[in-house]
Structure formats: structure tokens, C-alpha cells
Structure 1
Amino acid sequence: MAQIHAMSDDQVANELRKMTAFIRQEALEKAREIQLKADEEFSIEKSKLVRSETQRIDAEYEKKFKQASMSQQITKSTLANKTRLRVLSAKQEVLDGLFEDASKKMAKEGTKNGKKYATVLQNLILEGLYALNENKVTLRCRAKDDEAVKKAAEAASKEFKDNLKRDVEVVVDEKERLPEESSGGIVLLNGTGKIDINNTFEERLHLLETDALPTVRVSLFGENANRKFRD
């Protein structure tokens, strides 16, 4: 027993060093273990943060991309509408100018050719006689057209009688006239004066603007004649 407890100072010091070294080694290993675990947890948390931030950035990018696409579509649609309106306006200006020129030319030259004008008057009167289909019809015209209208009325009533085998009395209203600035033509009234047919040049041109517009549009713009004037 005395030998077991009897250790020299050097032996004691050696044992202490061994114990100290062992404790230090355990401490280092524990520190390494803690460091590894900390690094692992840091790496996991870092991956989570990176994933989360990447998803946030992707979502923000997708949101901004959609906003940019929508803005681009709105801009494109707005530009297309503005262009369409400009084209529509330009086409309408062409059509307005065309019919305005026709109106001016009609007012200036429509009755210059007396023979041609007489034929036109006869046809306009005959058309009105067929439409009214009455025994007496009154005509209104410009005062300066009296003679031409009377001759045309005589020829028209004769043709009416030849075709329908009955007489029609056609008289010229010398009290109420068409304005002298009118381009020409006539207005027909039935016996009571309550029904009238406007066969003046102005009215025929107005009807032409509506009825012939599809054909005019095809000729000018190459558009579908059956389509309404939209663009």
C-alpha cells in the first residue's frame, strides 16, 4: 500500500500532464464536433435562405414580367386604335371630299347639257309616276327648268300611258318652286299633296352616298363591299 501511494513529484507531474492532455484532446474533439455541427446547420440555413430569396426574386421577376407584358399589350392596343382611327379619319375625309366634289360639279355642270338633262328629267318623272301610281301628279322644279320639265313630263306621261294603259295628269307647280341654287331635278307630289317623292339631284346624291358607299369603298380602298364602313 505504501508503494502505491508513494509517487515522486516527477511522477505526479507526469500524471497531471497526461490528464491535462486527455482533457485538452477531449475538448478539442468536442470543439471540432460543435464546429462541424455548426457548419452543417449554417449550410442548411444558408441553403434555405438562398432558396427562399431565389423564389422571392423569381416571383418578383415573374410579376414584373407580367406587368411589362400587360403594359406592352396596352401600348400596342392603344397604338393600334390610334392608327385605326387615323386611317378611318383619312378614309372618311377622302369620301367626304369625293362627294363634296361631286356635289360642286353637279351644281356647276349637271344641267349644262340640255339634251342630257331633259332625258334625266324624263326618267326621274317616270320613276316618280310609277312609284306614286296616281291619276294626277304635281311637279316642283326650279323656275328656270319650267320648259324642260314640261316637255319631260309630257314624254314621261306618254310612256306611262303606253306601259300601264291609263292616263295620268302631270302639272307643274308654278307657285312653290325649288330653290334656284338647287342643282336640279324635281319633286313629285300625289293628288292630295301629302305624299312626295324627292328626285332632286341633291337627294339622289345623298342616297348615292349611302347606297353606293360599299362599291365606292371597294374602288377606293379595296374593302369588302358587304362590310359596313368601320375602318
Structure 2
Amino acid sequence: MNDGDVSKQIQQMVRFIRQEAEEKANEISVSAEEEFNIEKLQIVEAERRKIKQEYERKAKQVEIRKKIEYSMQLNASRIKVLQGQEELVNSIKESARKELQRLGTDKRGYKNLVKALVVQSLVRLREPSVLLRCREVDRKLVETIIDEAKREYAEKFNVPPPKIVIDSVYLPPPPPANGDEFAHQPYWYLLNHMLIEVCIYIICIALAYLYGTCCVEQ
């Protein structure tokens, strides 16, 4: 083998080694690129999960704060409504109290009021026979309006006039009480129509119309 052949073989071996080295280097580069991309994707996904979890945590905190603020505003609104109702009730009660005091000095007005209370008592009781209990100072007045009250009740419900007996036991004199009280047989159920109670009853009806709820037992 001459020098030329030896040189050729050496060059072929060099090319082969270089080709293998390039292929190996290319494989290493491709593998490294794949590993880098996988690692990068894992890091990106991990960070994305962290960001998502942090966002969800903060979103929950915001939602909780919103609920707390809404609850506080709702409670504040309810308190304002209750305060408004209380002020309205107190205002109406005070106005009614003054009007009732005025009626106490107005003979005609007081007579009409007592008759109205008797009729209302008959309406509430719906009994053919009742026992009326009043203040001693009102007895004569009650005697003058009984027949008219019976007639008004009977015409309103198309029933025979009820039997009304004035009790010999009287209600306490003012200021402890001021009104009419009924007792009907056989259970001697008492229905006390104190003026202030009538006032409260009217207030309850007014509130029912204002707020759509009824606090008056039928």
C-alpha cells in the first residue's frame, strides 16, 4: 500500500469520525432542546397553576368582602327601617293620645267613640249574649248608646240584635284604664277595648298598608 492509499484511508476515517461526531452532537442538541422545552413547559404550567390559585384565593377574598359589605349595608338598612317604623309608631301614638285626650273632653265625640267601641266589640265576639263592663263614670253614657250599637251591629251582619247586660263590676277609673270590656258566656272571654289599645290596633293596620305585612291578629 503506497502513501496515497494510506492518505485516502485516513481521510475516509476522518470523515466518518466527523460524521459520527456531528450526528452525535445533533442528537445531543435535539435531546437537550426537547428536555429544555419539557422543563420549560413544566415550569410554565407550575407558575400558571400558582397564578391561577392566587387569583382564585384573591377572588374568594373579594367575594367574602362583598358579602360582608352587603350584609352590613342590609343590616344598616334594616335598622333604618326599624327606626323609621318606631318613629312613625311613636308619632302616631302621640298624635292619637292627644286626640283621645281631646275626645275625653268632647262629649259628643266621646259618645260616638264609646258606641264605636261597643260595636267593634260585638263584631269581634259575634255572640248573641254579652256582658259589657265599663267604667262607673261611663255607665250612664253606655246605657244611652247600647240600643243604637245593637241595631248598628245587627244591620251590619243581618242578625238579631244581641242581648247586652251591663256588668255590676266596673273597670278601674282613669288614669289606670279608660275603655270598655266585654265578657260573654259560657267562657267569660274578656275583650278589653282600652283607648290606647285601640290606638295601637289602628297603628298596626296602618303599618300593614305601608309595609305589606300585618301584625294584627284577626
**Does the TM-score normalized on the shorter chain lie above 0.5?**
yes
Matches within 5 A, 1:163-178: 168=163, 170-171=165-166, 173=168, 175-178=169-172
- 1:82 deviates by 1.9
SS in 2 for 1:181: coil
Residue in structure 2 matched with residue 10 of structure 1 by the alignment: none
Identity of aligned residues (%): 14
Matches within 5 A, 1:35-54: 36-37=29-30, 39-54=32-47
Alpha-carbon spacing, 1:166–1:84, altered in 2? closer, same or farther (3 Å): closer
- 1:97 deviates by 1.5
2:182 equivalent among 181, 184, 188: 188
Contact 1:106 1:183 in 2 (8 A): no
Contact 2:151 2:161 in 1 (8 A): no
Matches within 5 A, 1:64-83: 64-83=57-76
The structure with the largest alpha-carbon Rg is 1
Residue in structure 2 matched with residue 208 of structure 1 by the alignment: 202
* Structure 2 letter corresponding to 1:206: I
- 1:228 deviates by 5.7
Q: What RMSD in Å do the two structures reach over aligned CA positions?
A: 4.3
The separation in 2 between residues aligned to 1:133 and 1:97, in whole angstroms, is 38
Residue in structure 1 matched with residue 128 of structure 2 by the alignment: 133
1:120 aligns with 2:113: yes
Alpha-carbon spacing, 1:111–1:40, altered in 2? closer, same or farther (3 Å): same
With 30-39 and 48-57 compared, the bigger mean Cα shift is at 30-39
Contact 1:157 1:170 in 2 (8 A): no
- 1:93 deviates by 1.7
- 1:118 deviates by 0.9
Contact 1:141 1:186 in 2 (8 A): yes
Alpha-carbon spacing, 1:156–1:214, altered in 2? closer, same or farther (3 Å): closer
TM-score by length of 1: 0.63
* Structure 2 letter corresponding to 1:98: S
Contact 1:186 1:198 in 2 (8 A): yes
The separation in 1 between residues aligned to 2:81 and 2:166, in whole angstroms, is 47
- 1:44 deviates by 2.0
Q: How many residue pairs align between the two structures? A: 206
- 1:164 deviates by 6.8
Alpha-carbon spacing, 1:40–1:191, altered in 2? closer, same or farther (3 Å): closer
Contact 1:161 1:168 in 2 (8 A): no
The separation in 2 between residues aligned to 1:64 and 1:159, in whole angstroms, is 72
Residues 144-171 of structure 1: CA deviation (Å, up to 9, x unaligned): 3333233333654677799977794643
Residues 200-225 of structure 1: CA deviation (Å, up to 9, x unaligned): 3233223324334322x2xxxxx4x3
- 1:191 deviates by 6.2
TM-score by length of 2: 0.66
Residue in structure 1 matched with residue 193 of structure 2 by the alignment: 199
Contact 2:93 2:203 in 1 (8 A): no
Alpha-carbon spacing, 1:159–1:52, altered in 2? closer, same or farther (3 Å): closer
Residue in structure 2 matched with residue 11 of structure 1 by the alignment: none
Question: Any gaps of 5 or more consecutive residues in structure 2?
Answer: none
